[in-house]
Structure formats: structure tokens, C-alpha cells
Structure 1
Amino acid sequence: MKWEGQRESENVEDARGGSGRGGLPIGGRGLGLGGIVIALLASWVLGVNPLTVLGLLSGGGGGAPVQAPAGDSGANDPGYVFVKRVLGSTEDVWGAYFQRSGQQYAAPKLRVFRGSEPTACGRGEAAMGPFYCPADRKVYIDLGFYDTLRDRLGAPGDFAQAYVIAHEVGHHLQNLMGTSEKLDRARGRVSEREMNAMSVRLELQADCYAGVWARLSQQTQGWRLEPGDVEEALNAATQIGDDTLQKRSQGTVVPESFTHGSSAQRVRWFRRGLDAGELRACDTFSSAAL
């Protein structure tokens, strides 16, 4: 995928110089694509009890957060410029999409931090990977996650990295359209198993929205997917499926505990969005089979 010459978003905030290192991790509504990924990897690599690490994601205590390497904090470093261009692409795509239906798209901010960062959803940690906070309408990312995606999960490539951001922006779309709020209202009124099933549908829809973005950004911005680009995104989706992560961390798969969907489901819904190029193709909540 050719990113050179693409517009850079002005909605990216660089907080790497002032991020703290302490505090509690974010929980509940702030959970995003990378949360389960990094938590289970921390368990697997560091020998920490997976339940302890996963407890952090729901606001529980126990254990110190895993810190990302410091890395380059310059405003012109390639990783920072890259996320600005990807976010700019999502702004252009969704701005035009909403305009066609007579609506105005309110773009999210993307905040790049290191270590830990206060958010309107609680305190975010690098150990959780990228996440979206609906309360302040911001996507948060520690760029060290891309090293994890490449080195630990075997999903290198710029399009795989772009998919991660597009997925989190997909959660922003769900927030704008009221989908996330419906899930929040159900919290506490349904069983944990039912809530997990609803969470899977929410995550798969965000995957599908990422696929729609990939399709429309080609059409509107004049670039073409290069050989291997789609495979990069599909590989990333495969590596962060609940079944793959559970096999890697604990050797067994417990479908009832899935919150993001299996590898095959994530691939299927990303490709559905990519093939259709329409948000209406992403109605996971009405689909009998995922």
C-alpha cells in the first residue's frame, strides 16, 4: 500500500513526552482491539496468570502493567507520520460517506502515548494495546504495539497496522450511530455469556467497517492495494482471534468466553466489508451465522 503523499490528519495528539507510568489500567467501555491480545501475550511470555492480566482489563487489580519500549518520540518519526496518514484517510472516507446521506461526520481524535495515559474512560495502559474511548471520542495507541504485532504475533506490514486503526475508528462509528450505547444498556441485565456474545458481534462489526474503509479508500483516494496487502490484514485478524490467542496462552479454546470472535469470523467479516464497500453489509447483530 502506498502511503507517500497521503494527507496527514490534524486530529492526532502526541502525548509521548508527558505520559505517566503508574495508575490503574482502563476497563469496561474502553476495551479495544489490542486489549485481549496484549494481556494474553503478557501471560504467555512473562509467565503471569492469564486471569490476573485479564482482570486488569475489566478494572480489577493485580499485577503490574507491561510497559512498551520507549522508542522514538519525534513528531516526524515514521510510525507517527504513518498513523496521521491512516487517520486522515479514515476522515476522508467516512466524511464523504456520511455526506452522501446528508449527515456530517464528527471525526475522532487519535492520541499517541507511551506507557500509560489518563482518558475519560479511566487510565489506559500500553499493555492493553490500541483502544477507543467513547466518552472522549478518542483512539489511543502506544506505537510499541506495532512491534508486538510484527514480532510476537507474526503480522508485519503497513496494511496490517492500518487495519488496527481502521478497526478502532469502526468503534467510533458505532458510538456515533448508537450501537455501543445499546450494548452498554444491556450490561448487567443479561448473563455474562450473553454479554460476551454481544461483544463478539460488536467487534466483528468493527472489523467489517475496517474492510469497508479499505474498499472505499482505494476508490476515493486513488491508490491500489498491492500484492499481499489484503493478506496482511487477514493475517492480523487471524492472529488476534479469540481462539488463536487462547490456544497460544492456555492451550485450550473456550468459545463461551470469546469477546472478539474467532480468527475465521474476524477474517470473514473484514472481507465482507472489503467486498461490499457498504456499512449496511456489516449488520452482525441481525446475522444468524457469524
Structure 2
Amino acid sequence: MKWTNDRADNVEDRRGSGGGGMLVGGGLGTLIIAAIIFFLGGDPSSVLSGGLENSAPTEQRQLTKEELQIKEFVRMLSFENNETWTKIFSENGLRYEKPKIVLFENVTQSGCGTAQSSMGPFYCPADQTVYMDMSFFGELQSKFGAKATEFTVAYVMAHEIGHHIQTLLGTTQKVDQQRRSGQYSEAEMNKISVATELQADFFAGVWAKQTNNREHFLEPGDIESAMEAAAAVGDDNIQKRSTGYVNQEAFTHGRSQQRVEWFTKGYDTGDIREGNTFEQLLK
């Protein structure tokens, strides 16, 4: 993908700040659940509620040239997300509020509790912040077979900002109310979770389409790399690689094919109004 000259001011870089440390506590169950949440999604507070603790912080260090370059790349992506979503919201009579982006390594604190690198990128609705440990993208390639490219990063970040869009539209709050009401079975809540994640994929596709219309930043292979990443983090692929079998009733993020389809639909239509995954999945 082509870099633009724009940079956002809502990116906080905590790498090298001495905030890392070894995690203790939580138990094997927490680690297993965290491994599932590793990929692209959701609010980790339920996993973290058991209370993970930090050991003594590591020493501060200077960021490498490559790490500084990554920060500039994330600042660019953040700006282009803000520009595109401000335009889309304005066209629909709404006001867009920028999320915060935090880069960290190992461990940091979030509004949803302690964040650790093994969880991968996630959005916390409590503080409207996307948390990203960039080591995730190496894991994405080595463990789940998706090639890590610049546009892979762009897709993942756009997916997490898609969860921010859901918070601004009230979708996140509605899903949380449904979860706390006790009126829905675990299987029903899993379907609602899948619809939530697929809509974030759809929003990522809308962002890619609208941003490319404005900046012409896509290059051959970019959309394919996003679809490859979407497929890699499908529940069926993760379960098969992790356990050797697939349990569809336990899906929370959607099948690989579904994730690709909804990202593609967002990209093909470029229209936020076409992304009602709840209506289609919960019939």
C-alpha cells in the first residue's frame, strides 16, 4: 500500500517506557481463553476479571528505527481512519469522535483491565481506545498462516476501529445489555458476538473502499492480504489449528468464509447502511 503524508495526533506510544513485565496469576483457563481472544476482537475485560498482576517493570529503552517507522505508519492509518469516518458520519447526520490508539509491548493498563500482548490488538469501549502490540503480526503469520503485510496491519486496525464505530452508534451498549440481561442462552449470545465481529469486518471494508476513493492508496495484492488475514482469524481456522477440530456452537467471531464475505461486502458497497449483520445472522 502507498503511504500518505498525513499523520494523526491521537496515537500514544508506550513501547520502551518500562511498563512491561511478567504476568502472573490467572490460571490455565485464563490463558486458553486469552489465546482465543488473541485475534481481532472484542472486550477482554471478562477474561481479565480474574486479576492479572504485573511484576516489576522493565527498564526503559530507546525505540529502534524500525519501531519509530511503525509508529509513523500507525499514525498515518489513524489519520486516514479519522478522515474517512468523519466524512461518513457527517453524510449521515452524525458526529464522529476519534478513538485513541495505544502502541505497547508485553503489558499495559487499559480501561478494560490489564492488557497483554498475547491478546493481540483489541478495542476497549470503556476508554474508547485501540490497544496494539505489533508482535501480534508475527504470530499471525507463524501460527495461523496469514502473510503479514502493511495492509494486514491496516485491516486489523480498521477492524478494531470498526468496534469503535459500533460504540459510537450504540451497538456495543445494546449487545452488552443483552449479555447482562440473562435472557439469551450462551448459543444465542455467541451468534450475537459473531454478528458484532462480522460487522466490524464490514466496516473495515467500507473504510478501505472510501479511503482508496480519496487517497488511491491501494496497490495490487492489498485487498487479497486483508482477506487472507480475515480468513486466518476465522473461528474454524483458529479452532482447527488449536484443537484439531471445529465446534461451530462455540464460534464468537465467525467462520473464515463469513469474515472474508463481510469484509468484501463492505469494500464492494462502500456503504455503511449495508452492514446489518444482526438482521442476516439472527433470523
- TM-score of the pair, normalised by structure 1: 0.82
* Preserved contact between residue 106 and residue 133 of structure 2 (Cα < 8 Å): yes
Specify the alignment match of 1:42 in structure 2. Answer: none
Specify the alignment match of 1:44 in structure 2. Answer: none
Distance 1:101-1:206 versus aligned 2 partners, 3 A rule = same
172, 178, 181: which one aligns with 2:173? 181
1 CA distance for matches of 2:23 and 2:258? Answer: 35
46, 49, 61: which one aligns with 1:59? 49
199, 215, 230: which one aligns with 2:209? 215
Instruction: Check if 1:97 corresponds to 2:91.
Output: no
Specify the alignment match of 2:2 in structure 1. Answer: 2
- 3-state secondary structure, aligned to 2:8: coil
Distance 1:61-1:107 versus aligned 2 partners, 3 A rule = closer
Specify the alignment match of 2:241 in structure 1. Answer: 248
Specify the alignment match of 2:30 in structure 1. Answer: none
1 CA distance for matches of 2:251 and 2:48? Answer: 14
Residues 34-76 of structure 1: per-residue CA shift (max 9 Å, x gap):
962638xxxxxxxxxxxxxx99836347999xxxxx9973586
Distance 1:115-1:211 versus aligned 2 partners, 3 A rule = same
Distance 1:288-1:241 versus aligned 2 partners, 3 A rule = closer
- 3-state secondary structure, aligned to 1:117: strand
Distance 1:22-1:124 versus aligned 2 partners, 3 A rule = same
Deviation of the 1:191 alpha carbon: 1.4
* Preserved contact between residue 25 and residue 124 of structure 1 (Cα < 8 Å): no
Instruction: Check if 1:130 corresponds to 2:125.
Output: no
- TM-score of the pair, normalised by structure 2: 0.84
Specify the alignment match of 1:31 in structure 2. Answer: none
186, 190, 198: which one aligns with 2:192? 198
Specify the alignment match of 1:15 in structure 2. Answer: 14
- 3-state secondary structure, aligned to 2:63: coil
Distance 1:8-1:257 versus aligned 2 partners, 3 A rule = same
* Preserved contact between residue 204 and residue 284 of structure 1 (Cα < 8 Å): yes
53, 60, 63: which one aligns with 1:73? 63
Residues 240-263 of structure 1: per-residue CA shift (max 9 Å, x gap):
000000000101100110000000
Distance 1:79-1:72 versus aligned 2 partners, 3 A rule = farther
Deviation of the 1:220 alpha carbon: 1.5
2 CA distance for matches of 1:245 and 1:258? Answer: 10
Distance 1:37-1:258 versus aligned 2 partners, 3 A rule = same
Q: Which residues in structure 2 correspond to 1:261-280 (within 5 Å)?
A: 261-280=254-273
Unaligned runs of 5+ in 1: 27-33, 40-53, 65-69
- 3-state secondary structure, aligned to 1:13: strand
2 CA distance for matches of 1:228 and 1:269? Answer: 18
Deviation of the 1:109 alpha carbon: 0.4
Deviation of the 1:193 alpha carbon: 1.2
C-alpha RMSD of matched pairs (Å): 2.9
1 CA distance for matches of 2:53 and 2:231? Answer: 28
Residues 3-44 of structure 1: per-residue CA shift (max 9 Å, x gap):
1x3311110001111423256799xxxxxxx962638xxxxx
Unaligned runs of 5+ in 2: 27-33, 55-59
Specify the alignment match of 2:38 in structure 1. Answer: 38
State the identity %.
Answer: 42
